[in-house]
Structure 1
Amino acid sequence: MTDHEETAGLSDTSVRRYLERIGARRPDRADAEALRELHLRHLLTVPFENLSIHLGQDIVLDEKALVDKVVEARRGGFCYELNAAFAALLRALSYRVELLQARVLGPDGRVGIPYDHMALRVETADGERLLADVGFGDHSHHPLALDERGEQSDPSGTFVIVAAPGAEGDLDVVRDGKPQYRLEPRPRELADFTAGAWYHRTSPESHFTRGVICSLLTEDGRVSIGGRKLYRTVAGERVEREFGTDEELREAYRELFGIALDELPVVPGPGKRKP
């Protein structure tokens, strides 16, 4: 295969560079074990972040643009960006992948908007169906068995996938007894998520427009920048500190996430937003 030949949407060069980006080797088979490793490596190297929203940058739901953002620009993104890019990689590695729409479940039981979230149904070469999600921030480290209805142990907690009440066919993903989101099993296309992405990029009701977040899983916990504060969790213990200068904040983005910023993201005041 040449560098210009396409493999399920991505060139062989793009696949190689994507794997280098996340520090993973190309798997011999599209099986569950390889998916587990790819999923974890993605979470450890590609941050969950909404910087584009507060830098006035557009978010384009185009497979090539999203892969380029993750691989070439060495950025992260939120669910639509991260899971769509990961789906492109998995398809190129011979996994069968379908995009699923989900609605986030709040602690008060409130259900989010349609296309609130994107997750992935991944079928392995052995016919296993797994729920992969590298775009929900602090979530499962490993893919979940989609057809399992018992408890599933993960380093981040105990997960259960159960039938959603009053919604035929829908599934609730529950972590440590707290519902996370409601999945609709019907496969969707990337373009179907355009309205959801627009809402989260522009609406004052979206938590993404209300603050800046950049967060990454680490080998011993998690590290995040929220606004002008650093949050670091190690072995369950969380510490935080505020950055004193803009340069200190820029350096933290470079050192912790590999993101070089010419300007810092700014949350507009009430009634204002970046175009």
Structure 2
Amino acid sequence: MTPLEDQAPLTEDQTAAYLARIGAERPQAATAEALRDLHLRHLTAVPFENLSIHLGEDIVLTTQALYDKLVQRRRGGFCYELNGGFAALLTSLGYGVELLSARVFMPDGRLGPPYDHMALRVRTADDPGPWLADVGFGRHTHLPLRYADRADQRDPGGVFRITEAPEGDDLDVLQEDSPVFRLEQRPRELGDFEATCWWQRTSPKSHFTRSLTCSRLTGTGERVTLSGDRLLVTAADGARTERRIPEGELADAYREHFGMVLDRLPTRPVSHPE
């Protein structure tokens, strides 16, 4: 399949359905204000989740497959799916969108593999500078960041900064002065992420094969997360409550907190030796 087929545009009907999925009106123009609204609505409507890996479902990185999963099936996904779908929506609304590859910083400071994460560089009709949009990182920014701004940027999700990486022309994205991911500035195609996407969903070394998670930002600024059978609610100030959901109530929890109707529950991951 060619890159053009991978990223075939949404139809008018699909664009309308996607906007309805996130509870948004079609913006009159591709403005920065509209981008901020769409970004926040996507985060509150479409969960970050890796259930497909533990349901034995394939993950297909084409616009049509992502539309089917996120909109028609009302599911979520991880970065390639969420940002890939959001990129298709923004493009259909007249935004200039480029896919960017990033490598996530591990707790020990090492970087993950190439194409470890996908983010978006977005150009609007009313602002000279591009924006860094990212609806696929879980707990992160609520709103897009100014791509060219190297000062602290305050966001409801914390204080973020984009800095020049020590070598090359990459950029480091920091949250509260801690590095989150290293961003390449060269635009990529959706198909470029397929190999690492496959690794993320199959390798015993991948975080996603070792964990089962579904997480969504709420309209009040809280984040609700179902990790296995533990339901965690994190307030905007960082306060957290946690309770265990009985096995027989998990399907109801997915429906109540994430709007997802599952015909079967995902298999709990097992621990893998290093």
Q: What is residue 10 of structure 2 aligned with on the other side?
A: 10
Letter in 1 for 2:243: R
Aligned residue pair count: 263
The corresponding residue for 1:222 is 223
Structure 1 stretch displaced more, 127-136 or 83-92? 127-136
The answer to whether the 8 Å contact 1:32/1:128 transfers is no
- 8 Å Cα contact 2:201/2:208 also seen in 1: yes
Q: Counterparts of 2:236 and 2:35 in 1: how far apart (Å)?
A: 25
What is the rounded CA distance, in whole Å, between the counterparts of 1:242 and 1:201 in structure 2? Answer: 26
SS of 1:113 mapped into structure 2 = coil
Matches within 5 A, 1:60-71: 60-71=60-71
- Name the structure with the higher strand share: 1
**SS of the residue aligned with 2:184?**
strand
Equivalent AA in structure 1 for residue 162 of structure 2: I
State whether residues 210 and 270 of structure 2, in contact with CA within 8 Å, keep that contact through their aligned partners in structure 1. Answer: no
Bigger drift between 96-105 and 124-133 goes to 124-133
Quote the offset at 1:268 in angstroms: 4.3
Match of 2:242? Answer: 240
Deviations 1:152-182 (A, max 9, x none): 000011111000112x110000000110000
Q: How does 1:188-203 map to 2 (within 5 A)?
A: 188-203=188-203
Residue ranges of structure 2 left out of the alignment (5+ in a row) = 1-7
Distance 1:84 1:190 in 2: 7
Find the counterpart in structure 1 of residue 165 from structure 2: 164
Amino acid at match of 2:138: G
The answer (yes or no) to whether the contact 2:212–2:269 under 8 Å persists in 1 is no
Q: Distance in 2 between matches of 1:240 and 1:68?
A: 32
Contact residue 10 and residue 63 of structure 2 kept, 8 A: no
Q: Secondary structure at the match of 1:199?
A: helix
1:106 is aligned to 106
2:149 alignment partner in structure 1:
148
Give the counterpart letter for 1:109 in structure 2. G
CA contact (8 A) 2:32 2:124 kept: yes
Alignment partners' CA distance in 2, 1:22 and 1:266: 28
User: Runs of 4 or more off by more than 2 Å in structure 1?
Assistant: 267-272
AA at the equivalent of 1:258: G
Q: How far apart are the structure 1 equivalents of 2:113 and 2:59?
A: 19
Identity %: 59
Deviation at 1:262, TM superposition (A): 1.5
Q: Is the 8 A contact 2:48 2:136 kept in 1?
A: yes
Cα deviation, residue 269, structure 1: 3.2
Tell me by how many angstroms 1:215 deviates: 0.1
Q: Per-residue deviation at 1:107?
A: 2.6
Cα distance in 1 for partners of 2:53, 2:23 equals: 27
| Counterpart in the other structure of 2:270 | 269
Per the alignment, residue 42 of structure 1 pairs with 42
- AA aligned to 1:62 is T
Give the secondary-structure state (helix, strand or coil) at the position aligned to 2:25: coil
Structure 1: segments with no counterpart, 5+ residues? 1-7
262-271 or 228-237: bigger deviation: 262-271
- Aligned CA-pair RMSD: 1.3
Deviation sequence 1:5-44 (CA, Å, 0-9, x none) = xxx7111111111000000111111111000000000000
Which whole-Å CA distance do the structure 2 matches of 1:235 and 1:87 have between them? 27
Aligned partner letter, 2:146 = A
Please give the secondary structure, in 2, of the residue aligned with 1:119. strand
